[in-house]
Amino acid sequence: SLSALNAVLRQFRQSGFLIPSVLTCVLWFNGHYPQVPGWGCPFRALPGIPCPGCYLTRATSAAFTGDLHRALEFHLFGPMVAAALLCWSFMDWRMRRLVPMRFALAPLSIVASAFSLYWLLRLVLSYGFGVVGSPSFPTTG
């Protein structure tokens, strides 16, 4: 019913600011207990190539445990995502809003472009030259 949906949306608006903190805790836990199973990348399962975010979860979890070397081996953006998630969690707790501020389009597009270029570089190095771009990338030949 519509009133039930409105109640759920109202509750989400009131407590949605907790999502970044919960995600931070889950990733921290995953970093300390990597044997806990997770889920695989659905993109990689379909075409067989890694997506731009493959191993980003493990890299972020490693960064939360302080293992920056391992984090960078998994994904270059892992430590940056961990830092951004910590900042986001802190700002959400202070402002009690899921999106505590407005984002400018230019910096977001620069980050998205860098993320895409990094992904393409990993693909070219892995599949084009047989250099392992990350633990998730198989070598060719």
Q: How far is CA 29 from the centre of its chain?
A: 15
- Listed in sequence order, the residues at least 6 apart from 85 whose beta carbon sits closer than 8 Å to its beta carbon are 20, 23, 24, 27, 60
Q: What is the pLDDT of residues 99-137, one digit of tens each?
A: 767 778 888 899 999 999 999 999 888 887 877 655 654
DSSP 98: S
pTM over 0.85? The answer is no
CA distance 29 to 33: 6
Q: What is the pLDDT of residues 37-49, one digit of tens each?
A: 877 888 888 888 8
